[in-house]
Structure 1
Amino acid sequence: MSWKWEYAFGAEEAARTAPADFLARVENKAEELVRAAEAAHVHGEAHQGSDPKGGDVIVPGGMFTYQVVVRSERVYVVQITYLGF
């Protein structure tokens, strides 16, 4: 398995209505989070213990909330908020 990111829960639905330029910024940051998680957890599937705490990331136009699930080698974008600024 290799590290990837994906929308989860209601974030996928919210992404359908958000502007494309905002989503591109969210996706770029999500890809950065994937690279960081992959570097920090080289043997993700063999990970023992709890997952690291997720967080909020501010991007131009809004923000998103993410969670890292190491054993699945995934970064989940669980909420996006478009504010239009």
Structure 2
Amino acid sequence: MAQKADELVRAAEALYIHGPDYQGADRKGGDVIVPGGMFTYQMVVRSERVYIVQITCLGF
């Protein structure tokens, strides 16, 4: 899961290179499926943050 989260942060950095100057609406979050579960994230572009808001572990 950590690798997928790192990829998400790198993609956000590349897409929103000047985050504090961004004037549009924040991008909607999404779900990322990983082996054994998934996580839900939310981006706050102007604050240059990616928040993991939920982790779901299937446990099998």
- The TM-score, its normalising length taken from structure 2, stands at 0.93
Whichever structure has more helix as a proportion of its residues is 1
Letter of the aligned partner of 1:36 in structure 2?
A
Number of positions where the alignment pairs a residue of Structure 1 with one of Structure 2: 60
Task: Work out the CA distance in 2 between the residues paired with 1:43 and 1:30.
Answer: 20
Q: Between the two proteins, what is the percent identity of the paired residues?
A: 75
Whichever structure has more strand as a proportion of its residues is 2
**Deviations along 1:20-76, whole A, 9 cap, x unmatched?**
xxxxxx221111000000000010011112111110000001000001110111110
Task: Work out the CA distance in 1 between the residues paired with 2:53 and 2:26.
Answer: 15
Structure 1 stretches of 4+ with a deviation exceeding 3 A read: none
Q: Is 1:50 equivalent to 2:12 in the alignment? A: no
Compute the RMSD of aligned alpha carbons. 0.8
Task: Work out the CA distance in 1 between the residues paired with 2:20 and 2:58.
Answer: 36
Gaps of 5+ in 1: 1-25
